[in-house]
Structure 1
């Protein structure tokens, strides 16, 4: 007899289901969607990467710690340096950075209050904005050093291309390309770096909240105390809000520019002599050849700076004596230019129009209108031919109509075949001889009014031309050995003292070229008005230099100078230190009035 036995089931199992129930099969795992698999793989990759990095840090903990703190220190230095960065080279000293910026404290409070994703977004945006502000401060430095003013966000972008062209003309195409690449990298890299630095600092604060809160509270207490007590370091308040002030300054500058644009447009439509008939303009100069000549960068510094003055004063005294021997007399004074260090066209248009043209928007406004210029006033009479000698113009120049010039000879039309002298396309002596050949010396039915721009004293003042025999000028190739033997622009630009000396020599060359031309070709009917268009750049003229430039009227006919005897100007080519100083915009009306013009104002529309 067979006996079958079965192992007893657990009691719980017997009560749950009958003996004949079968064990249900295990459920099959649900399929994982492809998108989920990719997310899992990405997370696994990141986890493995983190493990790899941890492994490196575990193997070299001191190096990892040093690297982490170095990165944090650099980030803090970049952010704090950007918050305290001044906007002028003269103020760029280490003590400027020994201050406590309020913006850093406010930023820390804000980042501590935000959750992770929002904190990183705000830190990145604020850091990028700080980078943009840093770039504006750097632009301000450059503009103040060269033009004596800050960068205008509305008007000055087109001047950056002029700066590139100036570098190419002065130092060559390779230097200009290198400068362009460096500027592009700076423009892109600074905001990116400051954004990354701000994000890193935000993460450090979030990783140590207790210490970060205590440190921020302590910094705020120190800032408030220093501000209340007026504590200073090196003459500057310890409690700084430099970045906030810089933003306010930029906003104010933009608002002032926009307001000025509308106001100047109305001002330019009013003209004291705008409706004066041609018969009533400059009657006392009928029959005279009148030459308005601008000497590039010829400023008060050339006459009074200790480095340049001795040579320039000897030159002015010698040329005054040489002109007197030829029968010419001169009177000289000072004009305050509308520009400084560059943007010569602003000075030219201010002098000729009688309007204060100190920015690019004003220049566009006045040159697109019909405001009366000195050269146009002579042309309106129908008694003079008008001509421009523009060796610095190398492309189409639509402003000729505003200047009232019948004929303009630019760099390509003066016949020069010699070498360039850095930015200057040709030596002034050659340009003046070309003026004689093409216009002044030709047989004419009417007298001539000319606007002449002399460029040899344009920065970087290397190499400086030398005078040659006027009869041997030819097509200018005689200047080849002179250019080769001269100083290199790259050597002079980097040295302030060498720049000042070279600047003085260039002014001596330009003014002597002009006075020798007058001795050689001037007549009883020649009237020369020459002046500087602006002071040289701050690296040459000094950080505190004004904007005054010398101006002289030279003539052989005594009646010409008698008409301006009441101006109080100094006899000779060298104006006395205390000679009258007028805004450059005053000259047009004073000149027209002195020589018999009758005011007939045009009305504002």
Structure 2
């Protein structure tokens, strides 16, 4: 018995219906997956594991129940609002992931917007204006896509739930019962509770953070009103250092991990021991301790201003308030005496820097005025050795000059440590062209960041280079009247520190004249360039007052 051949249009229609059903089913599965990922997405990189997504989100279950309960005329608006809120929370969690990766803390909704501008500046300096604009455009498009896709997914699933209302109600009740059961039994997966309330917890934490951040300006004004040295006569400031050249030098990202992490400590320890011995042979002695920085991973200017002002500058709002005030800074105190010429050597500054006057600097050598014509090394525009040699040529080595106070920023150990410069003959530095070959032989960022072990190795090499540059400068050009204070500004990024919560950085004072170190004999610091593990740890904002006190008029003198 023969079967009739189906009409071509009927066969096409059947195929079209099957295809449409397949597309609809696939779209629904993608919508469910997208919402699940959005609701359970962690906000910290070390929680970003496959098991983190095997959880029941309370927010999703409650949203489903709410949308089913809403009147029909309000349901679509509720779905759109819910989708937008989830999308915004996803964007906030993405910001948190970025901030935890670099600064080891979440994004501050009140105080951190200015740091996004700093991130754009970093992109421009490392990738050029085109790279900066392309990245910003990509981020904006991605943010719009996230909001659109999550909102669309929420609306689609709401429509399906209403269409199959009875089954949706039973499914929502079953999921709610499962969530409560997981809570009662305390079920966990990979150390995280299976019954998740991640977004609710995130909103609660942010509400507390916003209240604290809004109150921060008032708290800071109260703290800044107290200044023990605001009215100290100029002739009573820094009397113990008169006639000395005092160099305050920040070594980028030189943190406690460089000295104590097993992967880096042996090499850094060898450099510090060798340098201590070579300086001792040249007549120099050193004492070292620890300071707790207000930041970690980045935000060097906040650490610099904390160290120099004696105030805890942990965010951009505080920094702006400080630099618009008349606060007495450590560097400004030298200028106030009239006994020193004060200079700043800041190779990382490539734009106008009006803050330099606030910090009491008579003259500033920024990245455009160091006479460097060699290649950059990642973010660092000028190798540390060349920075120090320029300071010698322009200021330190001039005949017949008076005492100098200098703030010097060394940037070669700045993220991303690719490539890292190496030491060369001081006499052959010239205009910096000698670094071209060193740059070509260095590793690319892609090579360095292929593994955490490689990142730590190059970070360690950059710290070695910075220490060799600084100690080499002191050996070559220092004399009896040279006093060097050098310290790290903050710990490096969590990839290097293995997420260590410590914010300590080493600080060292080196001097040829023994009376300089005699004045800090009561500080409990360690002899040499390496602070002992149990050496005192001071908050960085305590240094200004301790230093000015130690080197001011002494009883009986």
Does TM, normalized by the shorter one, top 0.5? yes
Partner of 2:24: 68
Distance 1:257 1:55 in 2: 66
**Alignment match of 1:164 (pick from 120, 129, 137):** 120
**SS of match in other structure, 2:368:** helix
What is the CA distance between 1:244 and its match in structure 2?
1.1
Q: Is it true that 1:517 corresponds to 2:457 in the alignment?
A: no
Partner of 2:523: 567
Partner of 2:256: 300
Q: Note the 1:440-455 alignment, pairs <5 A.
A: 440-455=396-411
**SS of match in other structure, 2:93:** helix
Distance 1:526 1:472 in 2: 24
Partner of 1:408: 364
**SS of match in other structure, 2:228:** coil
Distance 1:519 1:202 in 2: 73
Q: Is it true that 1:339 corresponds to 2:298 in the alignment?
A: no
Bigger Cα displacement from structure 2, 144-153 vs 527-536? 144-153
Partner of 2:489: 533
Size of the aligned set, in residue pairs, is 547
**SS of match in other structure, 1:527:** strand
**Alignment match of 2:226 (pick from 270, 276, 282):** 270
**SS of match in other structure, 1:419:** coil
Bigger Cα displacement from structure 2, 356-365 vs 233-242? 233-242
Distance 1:139 1:338 in 2: 20
TM-score, with structure 2 as normaliser: 0.95
Distance 1:55 1:225 in 2: 50
What's the CA shift string for 1:432-473, capped at 9, x where partnerless? 011011111123553111100000111111111111111111
What's the CA shift string for 1:143-166, capped at 9, x where partnerless? 011011111112222222322332
Distance 1:572 1:217 in 2: 68
Q: Note the 1:287-366 alignment, pairs <5 A.
A: 287-366=243-322
Distance 2:176 2:13 in 1: 35
Partner of 2:43: 87
Conservation of the 8 A alpha-carbon contact between 1:281 and 1:377: yes
Partner of 2:537: 581
Runs of 4+ in structure 1 over 4 Å off:
54-57, 171-175
Partner of 1:425: 381
Distance 1:155 1:364 in 2: 11
Q: Note the 1:19-418 alignment, pairs <5 A.
A: 58-171=14-127, 175-418=131-374
**Alignment match of 1:478 (pick from 434, 455, 459):** 434
What's the CA shift string for 1:28-58, capped at 9, x where partnerless? xxxxxxxxxxxxxxxxxxxxxxxxxx99763
Partner of 1:490: 446
What's the CA shift string for 1:185-207, capped at 9, x where partnerless? 21111111110010001001000
**SS of match in other structure, 2:507:** strand
Question: What runs of 5+ residues in structure 1 fail to find an aligned partner?
Answer: 1-53, 600-605
Distance 2:332 2:12 in 1: 78
**SS of match in other structure, 1:189:** helix
Distance 1:302 1:335 in 2: 14
What is the CA distance between 1:167 and its match in structure 2?
3.3
TM-score, with structure 1 as normaliser: 0.87
Conservation of the 8 A alpha-carbon contact between 2:114 and 2:316: no
Partner of 2:3: none
Distance 2:275 2:529 in 1: 8
Distance 1:450 1:444 in 2: 17
What is the CA distance between 1:171 and its match in structure 2?
4.8
What is the CA distance between 1:354 and its match in structure 2?
0.9
What is the CA distance between 1:213 and its match in structure 2?
1.1
Bigger Cα displacement from structure 2, 213-222 vs 530-539? 213-222
**SS of match in other structure, 2:343:** strand
Bigger Cα displacement from structure 2, 484-493 vs 584-593? 484-493
Distance 1:494 1:129 in 2: 36
Conservation of the 8 A alpha-carbon contact between 1:171 and 1:422: no
